[in-house]
Structure 1
Amino acid sequence: MMESEHLDQFDRKILSLLQEDARLTNGDLSERVNLSASQCSRRRQRLEESGLIKGYRAVLDRDRLGFSLVNVISVTLSTHNRDNARRFSDLLSRLPEVQEAHALTGEMDYILKVVTPDLKSLSNFVNDVLLPHEAVQHVKTAIVLETLKETTALPL
């Protein structure tokens, strides 16, 4: 696996450009980083094989696809042991509404980013899916009023 300190300026520039637009061809990259298309192709392949590039995805319009409600949900587990955490993790893996899930230190155990079409769907998600689950003790929900910044880009 390539470590970040083994990346030269060309690798970093290629990664940065692909974060902005993964559809760039090796020809497009070569123009922007001043390397030949074949050199860009080899570098891209090496970055992919090393796992630094994990995949390529389309960014979809959440609102136009009917998922205009973004919710931040904190979850506290009923007991703190490995089995309970695994059961909760298994539940999350089956829930496509959950876009992000993070285990935390402090008061709450997890914070989730969940998208739903509307308030009724959010209510159903919390009351029919999360709260009845054996691993869950407490759920606190906040509805996002406005997203000021949302990115998956790393600061290369």
Structure 2
Amino acid sequence: MQLDAKDRRLLALIERDSRLSNAELAEQVGMSTSACWRRIKAFEEAGLIDGYGARLRPEKLGLGFHAIVHVQLTRHDKPALKRFIEVIPNRPEVRDCFATTGAADYHLRIRCTDIDAYNRFLEDVLFTLPAVRSAQTNVILRDLKSR
């Protein structure tokens, strides 16, 4: 799908605030409401828009511990890797999970109530997986930009 300047502006507005009405979006982009609606439907059908949701404030929900965990695997055999991939993305503490290049094989963004809850995650979940060799934790002190 070829995107023009209006398409990119429309997508940026939706990404920033998906609760804007079609009329508000159309007005801000300078198009009719029917044309705006058709473009949004085309974006959805093309898979450019993956979904809509709310940005929650984790600290207001009692999730005050925030960290990036760099996970190194010791084993890359299929059963051990399969178990890691089955368990880790489905844990509520894991907000994001990325397979990466470099020193770590995976990077996890973790949110939980406190350091004790994080320690339980390490001991009861992460370090019980046979593929995991080590995990280095970087605690997030301040969130400067997050989407």
RMSD: 1.2
Deviation sequence 1:12-36 (CA, Å, 0-9, x none): 1110111111011111111111111
Residues of 2 paired with 1:30 and 1:150: CA distance?
26
3-state SS of 2:135 partner: strand
* Structure 1 consecutive aligned stretches of length 4 or more whose deviation exceeds 4 Å: none
| Residue pair 1:29, 1:40 contacting (<8 A) in 2 also | yes
In 1, Cα distance between equivalents of 2:90 and 2:26? 41
Which position in structure 2 is the counterpart of 1:145?
141
> Which stretch shows the higher mean deviation, 77-86 or 124-133?
77-86
Q: How many residues align?
A: 147
Matches of 1:75 and 1:97, distance apart in 2: 15
- Residue in structure 1 matched with residue 94 of structure 2 by the alignment: 98
**Greater displacement, 101-110 / 76-85:** 76-85
| Letter of the structure 2 residue corresponding to residue 89 of structure 1 | I
Aligned to 1:93, what secondary structure does the other structure show?
A: helix
Return the offset for 1:106.
2.0
Deviation, 1:80, is 2.1
Contact residue 23 and residue 33 of structure 2 kept, 8 A: yes
Normalising to structure 1: TM-score of the pair?
Answer: 0.89
Report % sequence identity: 37
Matched-pair contact (CA < 8 Å) for 2:126–2:132: yes
Contact 2:98 2:106 in 1 (8 A): yes
Query: Which residue of the partner structure matches residue 55 of structure 1?
Result: 51
Shift of 1:52: 0.1
1:94 Cα deviation (Å)?
Answer: 2.0
The amino acid that maps onto 1:75 is V
In structure 2, give the amino acid aligned to 1:23.
R
Structure 2: runs of 5 or more not aligned:
none
Partner residue of 1:45 out of 41, 66, 80 = 41
Greater per-residue helix proportion: 2
Q: Which amino acid aligns with 1:113?
A: R
Tell me the distance in 2 between the aligned counterparts of 1:48 and 1:93: 25
**What's the counterpart of residue 65 of structure 1?**
61
Listed as ranges, the matches of 1:124-143 within 5 Å are 124-143=120-139
The answer on whether the counterparts of 1:73 and 1:111 sit within 8 Å (CA) in structure 2 is yes
Alignment match, 1:31: 27
Residue 79 of structure 1 is matched in structure 2 by: 75
Displacement, 1:93?
Answer: 2.6
1 CA distance for matches of 2:66 and 2:41?
36
1:37 and 1:56 mapped to 2: Cα distance? 19
TM-score scaled to structure 2, two decimals?
0.94
